[in-house]
Structure 1
Amino acid sequence: MLPARNRLRTSVDFSHTVRSGVRQGRRNVVLYAALSDDDGAPSRFGFIVSKAVGNAVTRNLVKRRLREAGAETLRERPTGVDIVVRALPAAASADWSSLRSDYVSALRGAVRKLATGSRQEEVNGSGE
């Protein structure tokens, strides 16, 4: 389980991350990432697993697996980013290794986009 300070809790937090962040899609997940508003703020995670993924048992299994992948990310990147992971229906039949590899691949792409966007703001003079 992720600590409370590392969880996105409100719909405003989810909306902000999904709407203003970068998006990376893979077969099993769509990952949204946004830089935190505060520089030293802890990284936070949110998970969206709809009924399209499967019954309650399947949805909870997918959520547990995604939370574990998020916990691994938290050890590597403890501050500065908000992440929302939306599980796609294919995640229901995915094993742990393929779900994790899709998550890691999407996260890597999102972080790369965030870094490129930050550098563009600095070049344009709007990143103060």
Structure 2
Amino acid sequence: MPPLPHPAEVQPRDVGTAAFRMPPVLQKRADFLAAARARRQGMPGFLLQARRRDDDGPARIGFTCSKKIGNAVARNRAKRRLREVARLGLGDLGQAGWDYVLVGRPEATIGRPFADLQGDFARAMAKIHA
């Protein structure tokens, strides 16, 4: 195994570009409950819930996985995959003034190929905003 480079030699990743920016994340239970009462679109890899807010702020995103997904390791893996799908797609597909919640599905969120999850996200967003 080759030796690791000295920390001064490592080039930092450019986290300031839009490609690496994560949208604001929902944290309050009331926001999750409000999204659950609004529009929803089921896809093979996850369920997308979306609601229009009364402001023009940036799109916000939330993630949730129940214990039906599995143990903590499986739930965290499912949420990591959902976060990456949202990070890559929400900038182009999300609309200002909306809250989105991605709900993981047992076995499907972890086992589905990542490209299929991205396609599911694009289709779900198109249906929500149609």
Query: 1:55-110, CA deviations, whole angstroms, 9 ceiling, x for partnerless residues?
Result: 22222222111111211233223622110111111223212122222222212211
Equivalent residue for 2:85, pick from 61, 69, 78: 69
Query: What residue ranges of structure 2 are gaps of 5+ in the alignment?
Result: 1-20
Contact 2:81 2:109 in 1 (8 A): no
Q: Does 1:28 align with 2:48?
A: no
Residue matched to 1:2:
22
SS at match of 1:42: coil
Equivalent residue for 1:18, pick from 5, 20, 36: 36
**Which is higher, the Rg of structure 1 or of structure 2?**
2
Alignment partners' CA distance in 1, 2:30 and 2:117? 27
Contact 2:49 2:100 in 1 (8 A): yes
Contact 1:33 1:111 in 2 (8 A): no
Contact 1:36 1:43 in 2 (8 A): no
Q: Report the structure, 1 or 2, having the larger helix content.
A: 1
Alignment partners' CA distance in 1, 2:113 and 2:72? 17
Q: Does 1:48 align with 2:64?
A: yes
Tell me how far 1:48 sits from its aligned partner: 1.1
Q: Does 1:58 align with 2:78?
A: no
Alignment partners' CA distance in 2, 1:8 and 1:100? 21
SS at match of 1:53: coil
Contact 1:17 1:32 in 2 (8 A): yes
Q: Could you tell me the TM-score, scaled by structure 1's length?
A: 0.74
Identity of aligned residues (%): 37
Query: 1:12-34, CA deviations, whole angstroms, 9 ceiling, x for partnerless residues?
Result: 01111111x21100112111111
Aligned length: 108
Q: Could you tell me the TM-score, scaled by structure 2's length?
A: 0.73
Residue matched to 2:6:
none
List, as ranges, runs of 4+ consecutive aligned residues in structure 1 with deviation greater than 3 Å.
none
